[in-house]
Amino acid sequence: MIAGTVNARYLRMPHVEAGMVVGLFGGSFNPPHEGHVLVADTAIQRLGLDQLWWMVTPGNPLKDHNNLAPLAERIAMSEEIAQNPRIKVTAFEKALGQSFTARTLEIVQARNRDIRFVWIMGADNLKSFHRWQNWQKIARTFPIAVIDRPGSTLAYLSSRMAKTFDYARIDEDDARRLAYHAAPAWTFIHGPRSSMSSTALRAAGGV
């Protein structure tokens, strides 16, 4: 593979079988770190996922791209750190030619009618979720699992998303049933937290 070129297998959606429960965990992963792995592993365990798609995005429209590592490099780092066999590293959004989550989820839904999907989000992103394009449409497309992150535990009470969809919140004790609820439906999952962040790692010269 030519340096900087994304292997074609990452540009396709991972293979799934009818009836699977699949988590969608998207991000720049610039760089990926143990905090991301903890969110992914917690989601797999608590939601009973058959797969988790670790979706390495071309670039977050809300973030500065000046320090964004090449996509192929972020994929390689993700493969190295994500050891759980249920995690499928993918960058199919690159092939779609866009990076807005709402549109991505529409396409995923259209191509996988027999799969139950859950959108996975770290609690640190919940605070700014209302700034995402068509954020309410996202909440009405797939159930959402918000995984606790340091300093963000109260986000599920204070965020605009949490207030808007308070009526749709599922108790975390019922998290394994979340995928079977029609959207909007969401839950906040408490658990072990890692203080690591991509921003801190970049500042320390991690990328």
* Domains in the chain: boundaries: 8-203
Which CATH number is correct for 8-203, 3.40.50.620, 1.10.3720.10, 3.40.50.1860, 1.20.1260.10? 3.40.50.620
Q: Could you tell me the mean pLDDT of each successive run of 10 residues in the chain, 207 residues long? A: 77 97 96 94 97 90 71 97 97 88 95 98 89 95 91 72 95 97 96 52 46
Neighbouring residues of 118: CB distance < 8 A, sequence distance ≥ 6:
21, 22, 23, 24, 43, 47, 49, 142, 143, 144, 145, 178, 179
pLDDT reported for residue 171: 96
Q: What pLDDT is stored for residue 201 in this prediction?
A: 42
pLDDT at 153: 62
Question: What is residue 37's predicted lDDT score, i.e. its pLDDT?
Answer: 95
Predicted local confidence at residue 152, as pLDDT: 58
Which pTM was predicted?
0.88
Written as six digits, the tokens of 184 are 């909007």
Separation CA 32–CA 26 (nearest Å):
11
